[in-house]
Amino acid sequence: MMNCFSCTNAKNFREYDEDMVPRSIHDTVVSPRVSGQKNYQKTNVARSFTLKELAAITQNFQEANLIGEGGFGKVYKGQLDCGMTTVAIKQLNLEGLQGNQEFIVEVLMLSLLHHPNLVNLIGYCTDGDQRLLVYEYMPMGSLETHLFGIGPNKEPLSWRTRLKIAVGAARGLQFLHCKANPPVIYRDLKCSNILLDDDFNPKLSDFGLAKLGPVGDNTHVSTRVMGTYGYCAPEYAMSGKLTLKSDIYSFGVVLLELITGRKVIDRSKKTGEQSLIVWAHPFLSNKRKHAQLADPMLGGRYRNRCLHHAIAIAVMCLQDDATFRPSIDDIAVALEYLLAQEDSSSRTSGAKSQTHAPQVSPTTNVKLDPKIQERGGYYVSV
C-alpha cells in the first residue's frame, strides 16, 4: 500500500528545514558546481535590485500587472531596460507558505545553475523585510494552466507537445542530477512549477525546496518532509530520507498527468477517482486498457505504441521501491526517442496514422526489472 499522506489533507506541506541554507545570501556555503566548468560560481550571478527599481518597472505593483499568485506570494509582470526586456517579479508574502530560507536557496541555486530547461533568475531584492525575485518572463505560463480545466475556446495540448514538455522537463532534471556537483534534488517537481515559453519549451522553476544530494558513500540525505501532496515519493514521506529517486517519482506523477489530463489530486471527482494514482492503477497493468488512460481531449490523436511506451515509463518512475525506478538519464533517452519517432512518423504518414508506431530503442536501458515482471509486468502500489 502506498501510504504517502492522509488523503484527507491535500494542501501543500512545507516545513522549515534547519540544515537547508545559511542565514543570509552572503554566508559561505557549499554550492553546486557544473561538471566540466571551472569557477562557475563567478559567472552569471544574479543582480541585486532595490525595491524602488522593482516598483518602477511594475508601476508600483499595480493589479493590472499581476499575472499570478502562489505559495511564495504574488507574481507581477514588468519591463526592464526601457521596455526591452519583459520579466516576472515574485514578491514574498511574509505570511505565506515560503519564507526567507526558501528565498535564499532559490537565489543560490539559480545563480549557480544555468540550463535551457531551468528558468533564468535575473535578480533579487532584499530591501528591509522585502524579498523579491526577478525572472525571465515565460509568456505561456505554467503547464498546469494548459493541462487542466481547459475551456471550450482553448486548444488542448497535442500529444506531440506533451511529449516535448516531458522531454524538456527530463532534461532539466537530468542537468540537476547529473551535471551539478554535488547533485541537486529538486524536491518540488509538479505541473505548476513547469513554465512554458512561446513555443511550449518547458523550464523548471521554484527552487526554494531544492537540496544538495548525497555524496561519497552516502545513499540519502535526511531532512524534514517538504513538498506538495500527491507528488511526494512514499519512502521520503515515511522516512524523511531524500534521494535522487525521490524526484523520479514526482516526474512519474507529472508524466501521468500529461498522459491523462487529470490532476494528481482532484476533489471535484467522485470517490475513488480523486487520486490519479488510485484511479489509474487498474488500467496501468493491462495494455488493452491503456487507451482509457489517455486524455479524452486528445481525441485519439496519438499512436498506440507510443502511448504504451509513455505509460510504461511513467509506471517505472512510480515504483513503490525506489531502487526499481530508472535514472533520469534513461528516462530522458527514452522520451527523446519517442519524440523523435513521433516527428518522423508524422512526416511520413501524417499526424493521425495509427500504424508503424515507434519502438523504444533497446539502447535506452529503460526496462521493467525482472522482479517486477514476475509480479505481472507493471507494478504501482496504491
**Catalytic residue list:** 188
Answer yes or no: is 90 a known binding residue: yes
DSSP label at residue 148: S
- Give residue for cell 484511479: 279
Q: What is the DSSP string of 152-181?
A: TTSPPPPHHHHHHHHHHHHHHHHIIIIIEE
Residue 124, number of CB atoms within 10 A of its CB: 24
- To 10 degrees, the CA torsion angle through 362, 365, 370, 373? -70
- In angstroms, the CA 194 to CA 188 distance is 10
Per-position DSSP letters for 18-51, written without gaps between them = TTSS-SSTTS-----EETT-SSGGGSSPPEE--H
* DSSP letter string, 108-124: HHHHH---TTBPPEEEE
- As a residue count, the chain comes to 382
Number of H helices, E strands in the chain: 10, 14
Give binding residues as ranges: 90
Give binding residues for ATP as ranges: 90
